[in-house]
């Protein structure tokens, strides 16, 4: 009946031209409804009913009719026809409710995958005040929960990547020709005289590049790159029992990389505008209040330290003088990983940036935490605390620590900075047992310290959904070790933090590829698990 009530505002062409505030409110309600449908049998039935009403078909027809023609070439994202399309009031709502309906629902995914994936992918690359790019990215991520549809999405993205590379090579050939050079059949550049000295400037960038000057470490090895971030003040543990909660911060990103010098120059030219207001225009219209510096292989320590000091002042300002320390940075890392495990939104805070952007950010957030750890020289003490938690604490204390600020989720996250892959494998089952115990305790007693499970019903195994997010958190950490850090080697266990720091610093291209693999494996294999046995089968692989 509720959907029938909304039928009148689902005439999208009418909504574009003659909408009222009441109709906009109804459309907003429909988006909220579709995104809150649970991923179970009842939710699937409701989605089938909505699809049966023709709403998805109507939305697809609207997109197909009004979207600019998508040809098999790399099209400009700033064309007038595309600007006109993304400015249509109905589009943002359509992307939002299609995301909710497509999430783990095969019928909706198949309907969308027939015609409009290239259009949605094109929208993914644009920036607008309505954050259409982020909404399109979220829709594609929802479609990736189906294997066949995920393959189609990846094909479209791979084509765009290949087309960009082809155009870049064409531009390169044009530049070579202007300099009196050419590329032979073997791909070698040939030239005469002193012109050969200029070839170094034409090297291809394969890692992180500044989105303003389009250069990275290959062309500008000594310049500091940074990542635009958005940080806000928050409680670090929602289940903490103290009346006065421990305050920390949480950070998200759209993963736009820029030279610190380019950022400074752009801000200097933007007279009369706030620094971060100007930066947000370059950050795909996504809010930002920080610029996390990266220590490139050839960047001097003095240059990096100066940029890190500047970033710390940004953090102090955006968090209202929170303590910027190693423990608070681990809480920050913990909370971004919890967004993946609990399937929470990334773009609500900043208005942009989805799962892929923030997964790319994870190793650099850990890099920042390890930098603070090495600066504080507290590695030995923190390692001792972690080992004591894993080995010394009796099982009857597991439930109590589930309500502590530095409880199992914190200890799970801090292991990335302190323990090698081998040590993780040795203790990962101990981590898992404590997470399961905490899930049980928090489910039974979310607001009062649960010292023991007294009744027989309390001791019984609950539905898998109770343990699911905690199991996903564990799986995510295990994937980071097995995929992201599989090549990190260290002669001694106590040197893990240093080896990890150096590895992330020197392998930005590997970081991007590995985090894509982690997100794909996590989304396609772990999140769909509906039984503990199924989770164990996937984890055992």
pLDDT digits (tens, 9 = 90+) for 448-458: 765 545 555 66
Q: If you average pLDDT over residues 105-122, what whole number do you get?
A: 82
Please give the structure tokens belonging to residue 353: 């940036």
pLDDT of 459: 66
HSE at residue 535, side-chain half, CA atoms within 13 A, is 19
In what helix (H) or strand (E) does residue 312 lie, and over which residues does it extend?
A: helix 301-318
In a domain, 231, yes or no: no
Residue 207: exposure state from Cβ atoms within 10 A (0-12, 13-18, ≥19): middle
| Domain assignment present for 483 | yes
Structural domain containing residue 193: 157-202
Please, which pLDDT band fits residue 3 given cuts at 50, 70 and 90?
low
**pLDDT at res. 192:** 47
**Does residue 473 form part of some domain?**
yes
Distance, CA of 312 to CA of 320 (rounded, Å): 12
Instruction: Supply the pLDDT for residue 180.
Output: 67
Q: What is the pTM of this model?
A: 0.67
Is-contact 224 304, C-beta < 8 A?
Answer: yes
- Nearest CA among 315, 143, 289, 295 for reference residue 224: 295
- In terms of domains, do 59 and 177 share one? no
Predicted local distance difference test score (pLDDT) of residue 55: 85
Whether pLDDT at 407 is above 80: yes
The dihedral over CA atoms of 74, 77, 81, 86, expressed in degrees to the nearest 10, equals 130
- Reading phi first (left if > 0) and then psi (alpha if -120 to 50, else beta), residue 272 is in left
Q: Are residue 75 and residue 164 in the same domain, yes or no?
A: no
pLDDT of residue 69: 65
Write out the DSSP string of 102-159. Answer: HTT-HHHHHHHHHH-HHHHHHHHT---TT-HHHHHHHHHHHHTTSHHHHHHHHHHHHH
Please indicate, yes or no, if residue 211 is contained in any of the structural domains.
no
Q: Note the pLDDT tens digit of each residue in 128-168.
A: 666 787 888 888 888 887 777 788 888 877 787 777 777 76
CB 408 within 8 A of CB 435: yes
The pLDDT assigned to 516 comes to 92
Q: Compute the CA torsion angle 342, 344, 346, 352 (nearest 10 deg).
A: 150
Asked if 163 and 141 sit in the same domain, the reply is: no
**Span 216-232, pLDDT tens digits:** 888 888 999 999 999 99
Whether the per-residue pLDDT at 236 is higher than 70: the answer is: yes
Tokens 């990275």 belong to: 216
Question: What's the mean pLDDT in 196-224?
Answer: 76
Confidence of residue 338 (pLDDT cuts 50, 70, 90): very high
Tens digits of residue pLDDT in 352-402: 888 999 999 999 999 999 999 999 888 889 999 999 888 876 666 677 777
The predicted pLDDT at position 7 comes to 63
**Cβ atoms < 10 Å from Cβ of 257:** 22
Residue 1 pLDDT > 50: no
Q: What is the mean pLDDT of residues 312-331?
A: 89
Residue 74 has pLDDT above 90, yes or no: no
Q: CA-CA-CA-CA torsion for 261, 265, 267, 269, nearest 10 degrees?
A: 180
pLDDT exceeds cutoff 80 at 81 = no
| pLDDT > 70? residue 489 | yes
Based on the structure, what is the number of domains in the chain? 3
Last residue of a domain, which of 145, 165, 180?
145
**Domain contains 51:** yes
390 and 517 in a single domain? The answer is: yes
Residue 45 sits in the same domain as residue 167: no
Q: Specify the 3-state DSSP secondary structure of 335.
A: helix
φ, ψ of residue 216 in degrees (nearest 5): -130, -145
Number of H helices, E strands in the chain: 26, 5
> What DSSP state is assigned to residue 320?
T
Are residues 415 and 524 part of one domain? Answer: yes
Does the residue 289 lie in any domain? Answer: no
Whole-number mean pLDDT of the chain?
83
Q: What's the pLDDT tens digit per position in 276-313? A: 888 888 888 889 999 999 999 899 999 999 999 999 99
Contact between residue 401 and residue 437 where contact means Cβ atoms under 8 Å apart: no
pLDDT band of residue 72 (cuts 50, 70, 90) is very low
- pLDDT given for residue 300 in this prediction: 93
Instruction: Give the 3-state secondary structure percentages of the chain, helix then strand then coil, rounded to 5.
Output: 65, 5, 30
The verdict on residue 524 lying in a domain is yes
The reply to whether 7 falls in a domain is yes
Please state the rounded mean pLDDT for residues 257-276: 81
């Amino acid at each position: 009946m509720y959907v029938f009530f909304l039928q009148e505002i689902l005439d999208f062409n009418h909504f574009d031209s003659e909408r009222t505030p009441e109709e906009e409110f109804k459309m907003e309600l429909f988006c909220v409804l579709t995104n809150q449908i649970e991923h179970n049998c009842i939710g699937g039935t409701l989605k089938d009913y909505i699809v049966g009403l023709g709403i998805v078909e109507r939305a697809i027809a609207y997109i197909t009719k009004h979207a600019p023609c998508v040809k098999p070439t790399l099209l400009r994202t700033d064309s007038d026809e595309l600007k006109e399309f993304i400015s249509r009031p109905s589009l943002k709502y359509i992307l939002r409710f299609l995301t909710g309906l497509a999430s783990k629902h095969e019928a909706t995914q198949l309907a969308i995958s027939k015609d409009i994936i290239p259009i949605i992918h094109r929208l993914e690359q644009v920036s607008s005040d309505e954050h259409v790019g982020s909404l399109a990215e979220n829709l594609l991520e929802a479609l990736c929960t189906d294997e066949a549809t995920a393959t189609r999405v990846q094909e479209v993205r791979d084509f765009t990547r290949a087309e960009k590379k082809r155009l870049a090579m064409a531009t390169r050939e044009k530049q070579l020709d202007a300099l009196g050079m050419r590329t032979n059949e073997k791909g070698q550049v040939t030239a005469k005289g002193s012109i050969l000295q200029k070839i170094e400037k034409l090297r291809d960038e394969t890692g992180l590049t500044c989105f303003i000057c389009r250069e990275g470490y290959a062309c500008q090895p000594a310049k500091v790159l940074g990542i635009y971030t958005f940080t806000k003040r928050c409680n670090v543990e929602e289940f903490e029992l103290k009346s006065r909660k421990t305050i920390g911060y949480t950070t998200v990103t759209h993963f736009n990389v820029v030279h610190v010098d380019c950022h400074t120059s752009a801000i200097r030219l933007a007279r009369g505008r706030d620094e971060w207001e100007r930066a947000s225009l370059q950050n795909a219209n996504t809010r930002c209040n920080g610029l996390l510096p990266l220590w490139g292989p050839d960047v001097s320590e003095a240059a990096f330290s100066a940029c890190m000091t500047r970033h710390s002042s940004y953090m102090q300002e955006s968090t209202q003088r929170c303590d910027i320390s190693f423990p608070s940075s681990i809480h920050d890392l913990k909370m971004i990983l919890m967004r993946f495990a609990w399937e929470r939104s990334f773009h609500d805070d900043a208005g942009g940036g989805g799962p892929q952007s923030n997964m790319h950010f994870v190793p650099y957030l850990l890099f920042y935490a390890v930098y603070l750890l090495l600066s504080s020289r507290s590695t030995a003490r923190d390692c001792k605390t972690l080992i004591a938690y894993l080995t010394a604490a009796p099982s009857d204390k597991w439930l109590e620590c589930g309500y502590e600020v530095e409880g199992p989720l914190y200890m799970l996250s801090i292991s990335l900075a302190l323990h090698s892959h081998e040590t993780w494998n040795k203790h990962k089952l101990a981590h898992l047992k404590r997470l399961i115990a905490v899930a049980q305790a928090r489910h039974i007693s979310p607001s009062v310290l649960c010292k023991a499970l007294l009744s027989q019903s309390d001791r019984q195994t609950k539905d898998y959904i109770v343990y699911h997010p905690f199991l996903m958190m564990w799986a995510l950490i295990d994937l980071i070790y097995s995929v992201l850090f599989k090549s990190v080697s260290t002669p001694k266990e106590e040197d893990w933090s240093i080896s990890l720091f150096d590895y992330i610093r020197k392998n930005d291209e590997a970081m991007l590829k590995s985090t894509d693999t982690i997100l794909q494996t996590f989304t396609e294999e772990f999140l769909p698990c509906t039984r503990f046995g199924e989770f164990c089968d996937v984890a055992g692989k």
